[in-house]
Amino acid sequence: MEAILTGALTQLHEAADQLQLRDEMREYLTSFKTVFQTQFPVEMDDGSLKMFEGLRVLHNVARGPSKGGIRYSAHVSLDEVKALAMLMTWKCAVVDVPFGGAKGGVTVDPAALSSNELQNLTRRFTSEIIPIIGPDKDIPAPDMGTNPQIMAWMMDTYSMTQGYTIPGVVTGKPIALGGSEGRFEATGRGILYVIQEHLRAEGGIQGRTVAVQGFGNVGGVAARLIHEAGAKVTYLSDKDIALHHRDGIDVTAAYAFVAKGGTLTGWHDLFARDVEVVAGADVLAAEVDILIPAALESVLTEANAAAVRAPLIIEAANGPTTVEADAILRERSVVVVPDILANAGGVTVSYFEWVQARQFQRWSEQRVNQELQSIMAKAYQTIATRRPVNAPNCTLRQAANWVAIERVVEAVNLRGIYP
């Protein structure tokens, strides 16, 4: 069993013990409504056929249709997708949007495919999962290795089989096809809002030093917004390079360069030779006020958790902290804002996009951001106040799990079991 699934189940069982859940409810919450596996052919540019494996897992739909990303990665596995589907259930419940959790993916390196091959793969995979997706059933979204264009192909493929356009079947679409203003930046912006809420009583974010591991859609946007809010991003990394500058890196300039098709390495070599290149491990062990792991899961482990020097960790990635690392961080009194809250901005604005599609409305970016800030602030305060007064060692992760599980259990009990 992969570490991320082990971690998700361990956290659930710990919360179930603390909430004194009945054994049958515990079994219900550790089960998965639908596990869909498919192997399908794709026509390549040279006319040959190549087989691929796809997955879609629906964890729980007690609170509404399931929601979750589609990732294209060579490392997609059933355990990973199950874990991420379960985490999506808790994430949706924490921010109180009416969705359950799902996740999906195809085992493929998208960089190895041409645009035409990527479209062929996307349309065939979508046709395979049509029996379980739909605007009232299961709503995919972008994730690692996917983007608005891929969501456009998915929406079009689904719509062609129904005979009319159904924009609400996926979220994260291009704005021209019913995507939401503010959706691209939503996860990173949600991270900023959570940090601001957490530090509200401690002087705010301005002047804080920050290390960000990951410079993709989530980490790049979060780093830029945090920089523009007045913090100093002194460490920054992607999969190829890690950078450090004691006075802060010009993240706005780096982000603009990468957004135009460049790389963080290219930006450093051309424009930022005064920024020091360091080892990737140095980012996680940086002496900063805030550490933001925004890359892959399970990057904070038993082997490196003791080296973390930041007093505050904001989990921008899904499942970046293993169970063993979490115990070490808790023992060291490192505060961790868990992923099911910290990176919930993406699914929150996906909910806004779904609502706009269902009502044939267009919200302004200002409205989207205001609504997002309100929901993220409310979710943080709900979790912060859920911690018992007589349990000062209760972590934000524990409180978030309690809130999420209680909301799902309430929905299950109110609906009952059919038949």
The answer to whether residue 391 scores a pLDDT higher than 70 is: no
Whether the Cβ atoms of residue 199 and residue 377 lie closer than 8 Å to each other: no
pLDDT for residue 401? 96
For the segment 158-183, the average pLDDT, to the nearest whole number, is 97
Q: How confident is the model at residue 390 (pLDDT cuts 50, 70, 90)?
A: low
Q: Does 67 participate in catalysis according to the annotation?
A: no
Q: Return mean pLDDT, the chain.
A: 96
Res. 290 pLDDT band, cuts 50 70 90: very high
Residue closest to 405 by CA, chosen among 1, 8, 4, 2? 8
What pLDDT was estimated at residue 43?
97
Claim: this prediction has a pTM higher than 0.75: yes
Task: pLDDT band for 403, please (50, 70, 90 cuts).
Answer: very high
- Judged by DSSP in three states, 259 sits in helix
Residue 372 pLDDT level (bands cut at 50, 70, 90): very high
Q: pLDDT band at residue 274, thresholds of 50, 70 and 90? A: very high
Lowest mean pLDDT among 4-8, 77-81, 151-155, 379-383: 4-8
Provide the 8-state DSSP code for 134: B
Residue scoring higher pLDDT (371 or 144)? 371
Write the pLDDT tens digit of every residue in 17-51.
Answer: 999 999 999 999 999 999 999 999 999 999 999 99
Local structure of 202: helix, strand or coil? helix
User: Which tokens in the block code for residue 97?
Assistant: 């949007």
Q: Which member of 67, 82, 91, 103 is catalytic?
A: 103
What is the C-alpha to C-alpha distance for residues 211 and 220, in angstroms, rounded to an integer? 12
Q: How confident is the model at residue 389 (pLDDT cuts 50, 70, 90)?
A: low
CA distance 215 to 255: 8
Using alpha carbons, select from 379, 358, 400 the residue that is nearest to residue 136: 358
d(CA 326, CA 334): 9
Distances, alpha carbon 90 to alpha carbons 25, 31, 105, 137, in Å = 15, 14, 20, 18
pLDDT at 27: 96
Mean local confidence (pLDDT), 291-299: 94
For the chain, list the domains and their CATH numbers.
32-166 (3.40.50.10860), 186-342 (3.40.50.720)
